[in-house]
Chains A and B, each alone.
Chain A
């Protein structure tokens, strides 16, 4: 039987926000409304990060996804004419995306369930013992033995993304 637990209630609240928002994104004909639903969904995700003791990720979720990507999506919607009211909910590629979505979902389920059911000593440790501070993250990111290469590659990737976008968006040269 479930015990009365404020954290559990909050979890379900954020889960409903996340899933409900996501459902709103895919069922809405108005792309701007879709963007707003996406923001709600992402906000729910930020709440879940807080519950998982990852407040830095929660703040980053709000800063990057709500503050930057959502704005970018709205800019992109306004770039394209007559996209604010779609007449059709489905297009001809719906079955491809369905297959991809189901596969991705399966992968995620495996990823989540796997470590829990495997009798691994390290994985079954309570989360609270593994919690690292943001400072630890900073040390790990630039430590030569840990994540310094991914750190630099991330920068390179972002640079490449920006150059690519400029090349595509500017048709005059």
Chain B
């Protein structure tokens, strides 16, 4: 019976009960242990994420990045944390103290709580809620509230202005994100995170739903305030945005939550579209799942970082127009198109049955048809976009010409 007690995470409660403990208490202890582990992972890993980001951003900008503290500067963030902790904390006059202090905690909390439903391996997950996806979206929306609280309680015009702008943008981009999520939900037939990964054993959803994946990725860039949508820290126009008045560790928490959020959404991307922990031999050795998941989420994450250090920032009106006039219509049409084609596939009996959903070959017909549909739609979309861009350029040129003529006609009479 000793052998069963090796894997502590799964069998902690039964083992403790066998050791003569009250079952209720044992259950509570195993939950508490799970909570500690799940919440410690994001906090430890955020230090590494910030280091990766600084290092890559530095390389893109032809700098070295942190390279003094520890090998390759990997301990730089620990040093920074110590610095932030011993810094004087300035609460601005007239600030609403309780809300002001609660805002950074809620910002961080809204990110950490997402990790509670992340399936790390086939067996290791904090809580496999049957509404996992809605939970993630709901918790994510609490983050915007933290920004609003921070902006309002600082008693600073620019903080409030920044917060309003950012919140308006963040809530708008939630719409295409949720619409895009409907496609993998349709394919998986469940909202449980573990169930979504299970449904991708045969074929990753990114193959069958590439447009949904791209829309999800783009709206997540905006949700996490990443370039080109980093209006959240438009230092040139808003001093710094909603967190101007924050200093010391409170500012540090906002920054850390931003970095962690950026990785977390890529983690979700990997789970929902790239098959999560699935990979070879993962059922024999569950812990391999963590490695697969880490690799899969690092790929989009690295892309995010490179994107951040290369593209310019958009204006707020451009950002809103892009959302409401492009992303939302495209995502809605995409959902309808996929729903229609999927129903035809299901009626024709080409979709994988629950028995062979884990089989690669059984998934091929459905995935190929959906992929073709998506590619066709992508081509049409790009064409529409190109024509719209061309029209806009022509209109711009005409306007420039008109103003030039007006200027000339204004100058000529006065000269004669």
Contacts and interface: CB of A to CB of B under 8 A. Distances in A.
Interface of A: 32-33, 36, 39, 55-56, 59-60, 62-63, 66-68, 70-71, 74-75, 78, 133-135
B191 interface: yes
Contact of B152 (A63, A68, A74, A134): A74
A9 to B, nearest CB: 13
Interface string B131-169: 100110111011011001100100000001000100100
B142 A67 contact: yes
A54 B148 CA distance: 29
B131 A71 contact: no
A59 B99 contact: no
18 contacts: A32-B96, A39-B145, A55-B131, A59-B137, A63-B134, A66-B141, A66-B142, A66-B145, A67-B142, A68-B141, A71-B148, A71-B167, A71-B171, A74-B152, A75-B164, A78-B164, A134-B130, A135-B189
Chief secondary structure at chain B's binding surface: helix
Interface in B76-100: 96, 99
Contacts, number: 58
B129 interface: yes
Contacts of B190: 135
Nearest to B139: A62
Contacts of A68: 141, 171
Interface residues of B, number: 25
Nearest to B178: A63
Given A74-B152, A75-B164, 19 more contacts: A32-B99, A39-B145, A59-B135, A62-B141, A62-B142, A66-B138, A66-B141, A67-B144, A67-B145, A67-B174, A68-B171, A70-B145, A71-B145, A71-B167, A78-B160, A134-B130, A134-B131, A135-B189, A135-B190
Nearest to B133: A59
Contacts of A134: 130-131, 191
Given A63-B141, A67-B141, A68-B141, A36 B149 contact: yes
Contacts of B138: 59-60, 62-63, 66-67
- Of all A-B residue pairs in the complex, the 9 with the closest CB atoms, nearest first, are A67-B141, A62-B138, A63-B138, A59-B134, A59-B138, A55-B131, A56-B131, A59-B131, A59-B135
A115 B351 CA distance: 45
A165 to B, nearest CB: 15
Contacts of B189: 135
B145 to A, nearest CB: 7
A148 to B, nearest CB: 16
A96 to B, nearest CB: 31
Contacts of A39: 145
A56 B138 CA distance: 11
A71 B138 CA distance: 13
A70 B149 CA distance: 11
B130 A55 contact: yes
A63 B171 contact: no
A133 B130 contact: yes
Contacts of B141: 62-63, 66-68
